[in-house]
Amino acid sequence: MNTINAAKDKQVWNSSKVIDVYTTVAQLQKPEQTILNLLRDRLPFMRMLDLGIGGGRTTVHFEPLVYEYLGSDYAENMVEACIKRFPNVGERTRFEVVDATNMVGVPDKYYDLILFSFNSIDCVAPEDRNKVFQEALRAGKPGGYFVFSSHNLRYLRTMYRLKWYKKPNELLYQFYRTAKLIYHNGLPGKYDRNDFAVIRNGIEHFSLNIYYSKPEYQVKVLKQMGFQSVRAFSYKTGQEIPLSQLNSVTKDAWIHYLCEI
């Protein structure tokens, strides 16, 4: 079984090559836009903790709208890059190093909105994952929200599938990628009975192992942890997915979860 070494992976997130990529992106994913629209009227009154901000993609959209904003990442160089990228923020905005599994210095019941976007939670080792939920429940205000996205184990077969490309170099890359997926993880059928698995999916040139789970299992865990209500949204369409349909979602590479604290 693949494992996740968060301390080692931090070196990847701290590298200038990766930071250069993440500081140039600004677009919200469709479900993030849906959730922003759902909360829009309340954002001016909300204190927001943005975890794992990377190069500040979500900062661009949320920071100007919320009452107070703390942008954070466990990779120090990402935080430094955000300070440089957003020099003109207001006095109620800060950027700080925070590890989502152990949010030292973050007060109890303080934040109305906690975001851990773009599958950042999947960089956390399976044995530490619940610590993130515990910390969100601790630092979030009752009635507030924890929003995150996470890889969908039911997408695995779709991910391995070879697509037809006219350009030979793109086609060749497909073969290379699928061969690498098989080499690192075995065939996708191996995980059919799993609730979750750690997969080397190609992110950052196959340097990282990433947590995948079946969406209905993720919802079960969130409810067991104590979130009051959980909603799921499709990465592809941005639309809400009824929880009863989560066990047939195979086309979304990841799912967005909106959880009430």
Ligand X SMILES: C[S@@+](CC[C@H](N)C(=O)[O-])C[C@H]1O[C@@H](n2cnc3c(N)ncnc32)[C@H](O)[C@@H]1O
Binding site for ligand X (CB under 6 A): 6, 13, 22, 25, 51-54, 57-58, 73-75, 78, 99-101, 117-120, 123-124
Q: Which is nearer to ligand X, 28 or 243 (CB)?
A: 28
Residue with smallest beta-carbon separation from ligand X: 54
How many alpha carbons lie under 13 Å from residue 110 in its C-beta half-sphere?
12
Q: Given the complex with ligand X, which of 125 and 243 has the nearer CB atom?
A: 125
Q: Which is nearer to ligand X, 6 or 221 (CB)?
A: 6
Q: Give whichever of 104 and 169 is closer to ligand X, judged by the CB atom.
A: 104
The residue type found at 39 is L
With CA atoms as reference, report the closest residue to 111 among 131, 94, 130, 88: 94
Report long-range pairs for 183-192 (Cβ below 8 Å, ≥24 apart): 184/2, 185/2, 187/160, 188/156, 188/157, 188/159, 188/160, 189/157, 191/153, 191/156
Minimum gap (Å) between residue 84 Cβ and ligand X: 15
Shortest Cβ 34–ligand X spacing (Å): 16
The Cα-based distances of 22 to 59, 105, 109, 175 in angstroms read 12, 26, 30, 27
Q: How far apart are the first and last CA of the chain?
A: 33
Q: Give 11 or 228: the residue with its C-beta nearer to ligand X.
A: 11
Q: How far is the CB of 192 from ligand X (least distance, A)?
A: 26
Smallest distance, ligand X to C-beta of residue 220, A: 22
Task: Identify any residues that bridge with 145 across adjacent strands, giving them in sequence order.
Answer: 113, 260
Q: CA 251 to CA 18: how far, in whole Å?
A: 27
- Measured in whole angstroms, the distance separating CA 14 from the mean position of its chain's CA atoms is 17
- Min separation Cβ 100 and ligand X, Å: 4
Residue 131: CB minimum distance to ligand X, A: 9
Structure-block tokens of residue 261? 């604290």
Copy the structure tokens of residue 125.
């080792």
